[in-house]
Amino acid sequence: MSGSPPPTGGFVRRVGLFQATAINMSQMCGIGPFVTIPLMVAAFGGPQAVIGFVAGAVLALCDGLVWAELGASMPGSGGSYLYLRQAFQYRTGRLMPFLFVWTAMLFIPLIMSTGVVGFVQYLGYLAPHLGQTAGDLIGLGVIVLVVLLLWRGVEHIARITAVMWAVMIASVLLVIVAAAGDFSPHLAFTYPAGAFDLTSNHFWLGFAGGLTIGIYDYLGYNTTAYMGAEMKDPGRTLPRSILFSILGIMAIYLLLQIGTLGVVDWHRMTDPHDIASTSVASAVLEKTWGKGPADVVTVFILVTAFASVFTGLLGGSRVPYDAARDRVFFRPYEKLHPRHRFPTLGLATMGVITAVGFLIGRHTDLATLIQLLTTVMVIVQALAQIVALSVLRKRQPELRRPYRMWLHPLPSILAFAGWCVIYGYADENSPGRHPIEWSLAWLALGCVAFVVWARLEKVWPFGRKEITEEYKVLEMS
């Protein structure tokens, strides 16, 4: 598939580097930093919360290099599903790709649901008397609208995404510029006692919580990897789109975080009755430029939130499609729209789960929803994919790799350690919620589902293993 046209009736390679980077950045930025700055401050207990964004950037960059090599080598549709299928087929057949799709059908929509929760939070700044029921109905309406817009061809989606990406950049830059005009170093760099006490368990608990929030804010750097079959010149476009988007968002986040802390007292962000705890960017604009400009930028932020949900469902809906096409998931998911060539059932299912996740987030809290979704994705996607890169280097050394990880294996080791910290501290950062136990239960249920599915399909362990090295074959032919 690398450099060759897709089969008749499949995807069309129409997305270039600019559009690919825009898709990633729209999904990465989205509503995330606008709603998580107060959460990060609460985790660290002061303006030293910037550590969380830096740590998240390092983890995203290291993990992004894993995605870059795998995506350039195997530029098909499905992302992690494709890489896990190729790497672990030798010993466990289709177990790992099945489990990935099983978990992805949950964590991808949950990520999108946090964007809709943030949308309603900022809408509350424009409509301060918005009730719980009205907010729920508006959020559900946003999800329906996203699905309807995605019910179109990729050529239309690329244009829509480019416009929303421009609005996203404008909203972030306006907040940064506004903060710079009224920046107070005293607010931004005055830390509470013991803020950097590395011998304190409180610091490391806050660090783990901040790292979880930080990596959540960077999630989306891999969106185009799910669309490898739709990329122009994927061997170059995929790695560049991942690296450019991470570096660009890294710079933007640091400016946004430090600027916000230099305008709004961090104590306000921890007060649930203060607008700064739910709409901190609007609070920055109101204090610096007044209520009118704050309202305008809040509208921009709403568009940004919408864009993140839009691009996330765009990429995520491709995952069950590719799995079903390869007989690793339910067969109805392999059907494409007869005219616009997109996976209909995958998009519809993800839309429904996004709606359910949104309602859960609205009736619990955003921090809990973030903790739950990150623990669900750690084992089968993050950790397993890092292992997959090393397995493929050993199992398929002849595979053409247009991009090879810099300083290998150091980025893989750092990424693996970072994900382990997030997972290991999950229960402590969500007391009473038990995210580790829920993630293990979901994984165990997935194993049971796989056994049932494998029995029906008569594949390993109830049939022979089917080893397919199509990317190596295509490159060698």
pLDDT of amino acid 207: 93
CATH number of the structural domain spanning residue 216: 1.20.1740.10
On whether residue 10 sits in a domain, the answer given is: no
On whether residue 87 sits in a domain, the answer given is: yes
In this structure, which long-range contacts are made by residues 281-289, counting pairs with CB atoms below 8 Å and at least 24 apart in sequence?
Answer: 281/34, 281/122, 281/171, 281/175, 282/122, 282/125, 284/175, 284/178, 284/179, 284/259, 284/260, 285/174, 285/175, 285/178, 287/182, 287/263, 288/178, 288/179, 288/181, 288/182, 288/263, 289/178
Average pLDDT, the chain: 86
Task: Give the pLDDT band (50/70/90) at residue 414.
Answer: very high
On whether residue 1 sits in a domain, the answer given is: no
On whether residue 437 sits in a domain, the answer given is: yes
For residues 210-227, give the mean pLDDT.
87
For residues 393-401, give the mean pLDDT.
90
Full residue range of the structural domain in which residue 86 is found: 22-476
On whether residue 257 sits in a domain, the answer given is: yes
Distance CA 311, CA 26 (A): 7
Task: Give the pLDDT band (50/70/90) at residue 386.
Answer: very high
In this predicted structure, the answer to whether residue 366 has a pLDDT above a threshold of 90 is no
Picking from 441, 322, 423, 333, the residue whose alpha carbon sits closest to that of residue 379 is 423
Distance CA 226, CA 76 (A): 8
Q: Which residues contact 122 (CB under 8 A, 6 or more apart)?
A: 31, 34, 35, 278, 279, 281, 282, 298, 301, 302, 305
Tens of pLDDT, residue by residue over 98-140, are 899 889 888 889 988 998 999 999 999 999 888 889 999 999 9
Q: Which residues contact 210 (CB under 8 A, 6 or more apart)?
A: 40, 43, 44, 49, 51, 52, 53, 55, 56
On whether residue 12 sits in a domain, the answer given is: no
pLDDT of amino acid 154: 55
Residues 324, 344: contact at Cβ < 8 Å? no
Task: Give the pLDDT band (50/70/90) at residue 2.
Answer: very low
Residue with more model confidence, 5 or 292: 292
Q: What total of structural domains would you count in the chain?
A: 1
pLDDT of amino acid 223: 80
Distance CA 146, CA 143 (A): 5
For residues 66-81, give the mean pLDDT.
84
In this predicted structure, the answer to whether residue 355 has a pLDDT above a threshold of 90 is yes
pLDDT of amino acid 129: 86
Tens of pLDDT, residue by residue over 290-301, are 999 999 999 988
On whether residue 5 sits in a domain, the answer given is: no
Tens of pLDDT, residue by residue over 21-31, are 887 887 777 78
Its sign, for the CA torsion 144, 253, 385, 420, is negative
Residue with more model confidence, 6 or 357: 357
Task: Give the pLDDT band (50/70/90) at residue 62.
Answer: very high
In this predicted structure, the answer to whether residue 81 has a pLDDT above a threshold of 50 is yes
On whether residue 17 sits in a domain, the answer given is: no
In this predicted structure, the answer to whether residue 10 has a pLDDT above a threshold of 80 is no
